[in-house]
């Protein structure tokens, strides 16, 4: 069924996660915000390309080959979700340790938290373990390897209409790209 998704390549690493991908207009507003932060704070690091902007909900792991059974179980988990569509507001910027700069939310939208919780429970029912934190900190990574901490500051709100959930294979290697392993419209 998913044979085309599971081709192996020894030079590719697969980071697999459930996430939210912004539409083009939201991505452009994020980029404008990033450019103003870059000018104002000059944290000097590796700025992510706008095509890489996303919000990770649950990270399934890093693999040299896609684990077909695990991916199919994750797809089953997502197919049972009944989460509503919502608008998310990014209104803060800051840094995590390790030189990670982000755009995030001063307050977690209840429907976003509900989606995170429901997906976590559905994955557990399908015996799909996740990596990462037990608590959700919604953010979009925009900077890596920063040599100077970006201060935690308010930003001009970026309204993000969230209408779908994706299972993403972030391929790193000869050619870095995101590949959709599944998409689900929110109700």
pLDDT digits (tens, 9 = 90+) for 93-126: 999 988 999 999 999 999 999 999 999 999 999 9
Q: E-strand spans in 26-107?
A: 46-47, 55-63, 86-96, 100-104
| 11-185: CATH architecture | Alpha-Beta Complex (3.90)
At 9 the pLDDT is 43
Residue-level pLDDT at 3: 38
Residues 39-84 pLDDT 10s: 998 888 999 999 999 999 999 999 999 999 999 999 999 999 999 9
pLDDT band at 130 (very low <50, low <70, confident <90, very high): very high
Average pLDDT over residues 22-46: 94
Please tell me the distance from the alpha carbon of residue 101 to that of residue 40, in angstroms, as a whole number: 14
pLDDT > 90: percent of the chain: 82
Segments making up each domain of the chain, as ranges: 11-185
pLDDT of residue 83: 92
Average pLDDT over residues 2-7: 45
Evaluate if pTM is beyond 0.85.
yes
Position of tokens 């755009």?
103
Q: Is the pLDDT of residue 174 over 70?
A: yes
Average pLDDT over the chain, rounded to an integer:
92
Instruction: Give the pLDDT band (50/70/90) at residue 149.
Output: confident
% of the chain surpassing 70 pLDDT:
95
Query: Using an 8 Å Cβ cutoff, are 89 and 40 in contact?
Result: no
- Asked if 16 and 66 count as a contact pair (C-beta separation under 8 A), the reply is yes
């Amino acid at each position: 069924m998913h044979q085309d998704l599971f081709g192996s390549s020894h030079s590719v690493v697969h980071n697999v996660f459930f996430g939210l991908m912004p539409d083009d207009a939201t991505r452009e507003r994020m980029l404008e915000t990033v450019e103003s932060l870059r000018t104002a704070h000059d944290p000097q690091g590796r700025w992510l390309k706008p095509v890489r902007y996303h919000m990770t909900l649950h990270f399934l792991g890093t693999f040299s080959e896609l684990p077909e059974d695990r991916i199919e179980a994750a797809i089953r988990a997502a197919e049972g979700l009944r989460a509503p569509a919502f608008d998310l507001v990014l209104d803060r910027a800051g840094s995590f340790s390790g030189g990670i700069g982000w755009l995030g939310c001063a307050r977690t939208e209840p429907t976003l938290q509900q989606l995170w919780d429901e997906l976590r429970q559905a994955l557990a029912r399908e015996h799909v373990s996740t990596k990462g934190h037990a608590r959700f900190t919604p953010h979009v990574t925009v900077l890596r390897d920063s040599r100077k901490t970006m201060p935690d500051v308010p930003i001009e709100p970026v309204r993000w209409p969230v209408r779908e959930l994706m299972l993403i294979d972030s391929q790193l290697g000869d050619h870095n790209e995101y590949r959709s392993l599944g998409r689900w419209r929110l109700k």
